[in-house]
């Protein structure tokens, strides 16, 4: 199966030793029989054919879904085409948000502020510890979205659309090492220091990467939940 990774941004240059956003998903979903091709969405590389790949995945980004960038509208058009065609699609963080927005929902900076580090999410009957790094949230659901996950901080933390689109706000592709680097390189002066101090106390604790990887792979392969 060919999976198209739609990448709307890049890792900060000072963190390139850890790989770009697509590399995290190649690692997370390695071993499931997928071949990957990456599209640099931020550079305007947005395909128009929803059948160009057997499945799709939209990564995180430093950008907001509501921002004015020339690639936002083409990406939203592709999302709607993928949805109409019934092709599998996964969205994570920014991907979760832009899919909701493209299908009629609303995304904005959350009044409650940032969520950073290891948090517990209740997803499809299970409590999963997963890493978070976001201020934006989906605040209004699009028609047809089913809420399948939430947390104390994020009401719409995981959404399913007819079984072919599955999106999550947290980052199952991130481990504690990467979150620690993000706090050093992007968090200072942006994320409140007490939140980062608390997050640092949990950097070495395990997160449910495998559980979410299995779920993503099942959706991409069209397997039942």
Question: What does the pLDDT read at residue 225?
Answer: 56
pTM: 0.96
State mean pLDDT over 11-35: 96
> CA separation (Å) from 135 to 109, 112, 166?
6, 8, 20
In this predicted structure, the answer to whether residue 84 has a pLDDT above a threshold of 80 is: yes
Specify the residue for token string 């079984």: 163
Residues 212/177, Cβ–Cβ less than 8 Å: no
Given 42, 83, 93, 154, the catalytic residue: 93
53 a catalytic residue: no
93 a catalytic residue: yes
187 pLDDT band, cuts 50/70/90, is confident
Q: What is the CATH number of domain 2-220?
A: 3.40.50.880
173 a catalytic residue: yes
Sign of the Cα pseudo-torsion (88, 92, 98, 99, in order)? positive
Using alpha carbons only, what angle is made at residue 36 by residues 17 and 81, rounded to the nearest 5 degrees?
120
For the chain, how far is it from start to end, CA to CA, in angstroms? 19
pLDDT digit string, tens, across residues 93-143: 999 999 999 999 999 999 889 999 999 999 999 999 999 999 999 999 999
Residues 46/101, Cβ–Cβ less than 8 Å: no
What residue spans define the domains of the chain? 2-220
């Amino acid at each position: 199966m060919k999976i198209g990774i739609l990448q709307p941004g890049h890792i900060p240059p000072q963190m390139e030793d850890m790989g770009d956003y697509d590399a995290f998903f190649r690692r997370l979903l390695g071993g499931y029989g997928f071949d990957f091709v990456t599209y640099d969405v931020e550079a305007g590389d947005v395909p128009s054919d929803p059948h160009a790949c057997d499945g799709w995945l939209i990564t995180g980004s430093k950008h907001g879904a509501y921002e004015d960038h020339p690639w936002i509208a083409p990406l939203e058009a592709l999302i709607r085409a993928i949805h109409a065609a019934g092709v599998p699609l996964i969205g994570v963080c920014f991907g979760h948000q832009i899919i909701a927005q493209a299908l009629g929902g609303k995304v904005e900076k959350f009044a409650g502020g940032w969520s950073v580090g290891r948090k517990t999410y209740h997803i499809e009957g299970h409590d999963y510890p997963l890493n978070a790094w976001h201020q934006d949230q989906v605040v209004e659901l699009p028609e047809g979205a089913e809420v399948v996950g939430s947390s104390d901080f994020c009401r719409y933390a995981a959404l399913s659309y007819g079984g072919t689109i599955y999106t999550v706000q947290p980052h199952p592709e991130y481990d504690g090492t990467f979150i620690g680097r993000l706090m050093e390189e992007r968090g200072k002066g942006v994320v409140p220091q007490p939140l980062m101090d608390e997050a640092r106390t949990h950097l070495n604790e395990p997160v449910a990467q495998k559980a979410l990887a299995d779920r993503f792979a099942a959706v991409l392969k069209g397997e039942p939940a």
